[in-house]
Structures are given as C-alpha cells and as structure tokens.
Structure 1
Amino acid sequence: MESNKKITNHFFKNQIHFLKENFVIDNEQLFQQFSIAVERYCYFSFEMDKLIDGDYNFSEQFKSSDDKVYQIVNNHQKALRILLNIFPDNHRFWDDLDETSQRYYHILTKEKYNNNERKIFTIKDFEEYAISKHCLAYIPIKGLSYLFETKVDLQKMENIFTEIFLGMQMNDDIEDFNSDLLSGQWTYVHSLVQEFMTKNNINDNSELDKFRERVFYVSGIGEEFTRYSKERFISAKVLSQDSGFTELKVWLDNTISIIDQNEKIILNLTSN
C-alpha cells in the first residue's frame, strides 16, 4: 500500500498554505512571521509526542551530537518569541493556546492510561481521541482570524479540519496496526479486533506472522475502517469545494486517490 504517512506529513507542512486562501492577507510580512511561528511550534509538538512515546534513541543522539531535546526547546522558544511580537500578552490568542495545549497533553496522558487498561473503544471514543490528538492544528485558524479578515466562517474551516483529522487518524491507525501492537499502543482498531476475536473464540496464533493484523483484514474490519476514512476525506472535500478552498481540495483529491488504491488492494486480498 502507498504510505498514509505521506498524507499526514504533506498536510501539516502545507497547513498555513491551505488556510491562506480563506483570509484577506493585507500584510504579507505579518503572515510570514506567523507562518514561521506555526512551523516551529508544529516541530515542537510533533517531537514532544515522540519524546513522550519513548521514540528517541538517546545513545545514538549523544554519539552523533544530535541533541533533539535542545532542538525541541529551542523551536518552542523561538515560536513563542515570534508570537509575543504578534500578540500582546493579554490577547485572547494566549487563552486559546493554553486551553488547546491542555486538551492536547491531557489526551496524550489518557492515551498512556488506555494502553494499560486496554478497554474496548466505541466510535465516539475514537473520534474524541482523533480530534483531541490534532486539536493544536486548530490554533493557526484562530490565530489567522485574529490577524486578518476571513472569507469563510471560522466554524466552517474548523469543520473541514475536523473531518480531515478523523480520516487522518483512522488512516494512521490502520497503517500502524502492527507497529502499534509491538510497542503496546492500544487503539480503536486493536480494540475492535480483540472484541471480534473474543466473540468468535479466536486465540492468538504465534506461529503465524502478524496474526492479529490478518484477523483485522479477514474479519472485514479493515475494509470498514478504510471506508470510514475515505468518507471523512470526501466530506472534507465537499466542504472545501463549497468554501472555495481550491488548494486544499487538490490535496484531498490526491488523498482520496491514495485511499482508493489501498482499498482495492484490501478487497483483492480478502476476496482471494
């Protein structure tokens, strides 16, 4: 299958570019300053996530003098310096950032708790998680709305992003099925497979490679979740088209095309 990581990476690299179409940019320098701050803050957030997940090899970093922790802190500091030059310390923007950051780090803590509890999740649980895990990406929308006139209602923009985050998270959970299983990451995908195995009295088979991932696809859960992701992206595409987001629509067209290809692969595997 074509990597869904390309979908996520391309979106966040171009997030500000996608949003720009919806604002009357009457100060390009100010826009560029805010864009740089967002880029640095995104780096900080993504790397903090990796740090919390234990993805860093500190021995290798020491040997190569690649101090990732310093880079995380440095990008955070530089982002805040830029933002402080843009927004006064009593501006509503800082309350938005604080409230959203609290929501984001709370879901990371809850994620670790759920990894131990291994409960069976509902679709509501998944959607709450998916939105909270990406909630910091709403901040650029709010920030730009404080700086520039909007062409489309703020809530409509957030609705588009919400649909994208739901599709994106499901895509990531599908692609990361086996790696998450090995690292102890408990997701909605894994909980549904566990529920299916329990209901059908299926035991783990250590002699078969990636046994649970096989169950995921043979059971039809993989097909169902791929369809869910595709529907979310299609919904975002319709909303983007209605709101005049031409660049975002192009990205969504490409994303849906990738999912179509992956969907065909799954159908071929499960029908043979």
Structure 2
Amino acid sequence: MADIQPSLYFFRNQTHFLKENFIIDNEELLQKFTTSVEHLCYFTLKMDKIIDGDYKFSNESENSDFYSAVKSHQESVRIMTEIFPKNHDFWNHLDENNRQYYTTLSKEKYNTSTKPVFTLKEFEKYAIGKHTLAFIPIIGLDYIFEKKCNIEQLKEVYVLIFKGIQMNDDIEDLSADIQNGQWTYVRSRVEEFIKENNLSNESNLDQFEERVFYVSGIAQELIHYSKESFIKARNIAIENNYREITQWLSEIIADISKNEELVLSLIND
C-alpha cells in the first residue's frame, strides 16, 4: 500500500473496508454491488483529474481514458438498476450526492479563476463535497444488508477521513497545483502569508511558494491537521469496532508521522 496514494487505495476498496459492518447473507449480491462501486470510483477519480487539468486530451491514450470513464459510469448505473428498483429511496440519495459532488466541482473551478482567501471552514465543506460520492457504498450496503454498526458513526468517520485525505493530497500536490494553476486551501494560506509579510521573489528562486510553505510553519500546521483528522477518525472506529478501517487509519497515521518528522528535521537543519 505504501506505493499507492492513500486516497486511491481507500476509495478503490470501499466494500472491503465496509462489509464487516453488515450481515452479508448474499455474496453474489455483494460482489455485484462491489463491481458497481468500483466503476463509480473509477469514473469519479478520472473526473477529478479532468477538473484538476491533468488531462490535456492531446493524445489517443488520454482520449481513451475519458471514454473509459464515461463507460464506467454507465456500467455502474446499469448494475445499480439491477439491484435497486426504479422508485427505491437509494436513487434519491444518489441524486443528492451527485448534486453535491458536481456543485463542489463547479465551485472548485470558479475558485481557481477568482483565487479567494480560503477559511478552514470553507476547506472542510469543500473536502466533504469533493468526496461525497464515497457515502454511496455505505448507503447502498445499508439498504441491501442488515447493519451491525451505527451508520451515523460510520459516516462521521468518513467525514474525518475526507478532511484528512483532502488536506494531505493538497499538501502533496502543491507543486503540481501551482504549475496547473489549481487553487487550494494550501495555496491560499501560502499566498496570504506572502502578502501579509510583504515577501517577494526578487532573486527568482525556484519553487518559491513551496519554500514559503515549509519555512513559514504552514506545512507543519496543516500536516498536523491532517494527522489529527485521521486520529479522531481512528478513535471513533476503535470505539465502534470498525477493524479494517482502524487498521488502515493506523497505517496512514504512521506514514504522516514520518512525514511530519522529516519536515521538522529539514527545517531544523
């Protein structure tokens, strides 16, 4: 797992982390739903790359990926129609989560063009909206199978994971986001620090914003925020005996702690 971005590993394996919290009395139905979720995840991850500007659609491979994403979305919905009747409440949940997700993507593009000052509260709302489709596996499993856990507590764990993952991803993607013109909470904090302290890159230093990010102390603060979000999520997971999620969170916290120590050593040196 160390070679896979934490968010990718988590979202690609949703039912693996969730199934222990439900009484699975039909393995075939579970596998069918899992396949649908995997297709939805693939589509969502590709959409994120498109919105982030990672795709330029300049070659046949990238165009093929775009088609594969659309096809995956179609397949996900097709399978879901075999599981949930037309008038099932599941579709209302899917519609609402889709609305929130695409509204967040639109807001993200707007922010990239206007570059507003981000507050932490706005970041957290964004982090939840950006990952809201990850609630669908919980909602679907809750309709299909009998639950063994408190669903609201499980969703609260997910909310904390969304915040931790989004912050961690924005930290790791800072250089790429600067290059692509992507506006994030991390970039907003850096630019505000530069403005408030009247800093300028008169020497034309490479990666000036990244240097400010680490030297200013913002990096340590936001890494700590990400780590604390995961710790809070793990505490709830332990209390509710979400074993698979607890194990994954422990690994993530250990990895972030190593990054935290590395940043501190680099700054102190």
- TM-score, normalising length: structure 2: 0.95
Report the CA distance between 1:73 and its aligned residue.
Answer: 2.0
More contact order relative to length (CA 8 Å, sep ≥ 6): 1
The residue matched to 1:240 in structure 2 has which SS?
Answer: helix
Q: Deviations along 1:217-260, whole A, 9 cap, x unmatched?
A: 11100000000000000111111111111111111111011001
> CA separation in 2, counterparts of 1:119 and 1:87?
41
Aligned CA distance change for structure 1 residues 34 and 167 (closer, same or farther; 3 Å): same
> CA separation in 2, counterparts of 1:7 and 1:69?
23
Contact 1:25 1:148 in 2 (8 A): yes
Report the CA distance between 1:154 and its aligned residue.
Answer: 1.2
Partner of residue 29, structure 1: 28
Partner of residue 207, structure 2: 210
Percent identity over the alignment is: 49
Partner of residue 58, structure 1: 57
Contact 1:226 1:263 in 2 (8 A): yes
Aligned CA distance change for structure 1 residues 229 and 244 (closer, same or farther; 3 Å): same
Aligned length: 269
Gaps of 5+ in 1: none
Q: Give yes or no for the alignment of 1:90 onto 2:78.
A: no
Aligned CA distance change for structure 1 residues 128 and 101 (closer, same or farther; 3 Å): same
Question: Which of residues 102, 113, 116 is equivalent to 1:119?
Answer: 116
Gaps of 5+ in 2: none
> CA separation in 2, counterparts of 1:65 and 1:166?
29
Q: Find runs of 4+ consecutive structure 1 residues off by over 4 angstroms.
A: 2-5
Report the CA distance between 1:66 and its aligned residue.
Answer: 6.4
Contact 2:57 2:63 in 1 (8 A): no
The residue matched to 1:104 in structure 2 has which SS?
Answer: helix
Contact 2:52 2:182 in 1 (8 A): no
Report the CA distance between 1:46 and its aligned residue.
Answer: 1.3
Contact 2:124 2:163 in 1 (8 A): yes
- One-letter amino acid matched to 1:30: L
Contact 1:3 1:175 in 2 (8 A): no
Aligned CA distance change for structure 1 residues 108 and 5 (closer, same or farther; 3 Å): farther
> CA separation in 1, counterparts of 2:160 and 2:240?
14
Contact 1:216 1:222 in 2 (8 A): yes
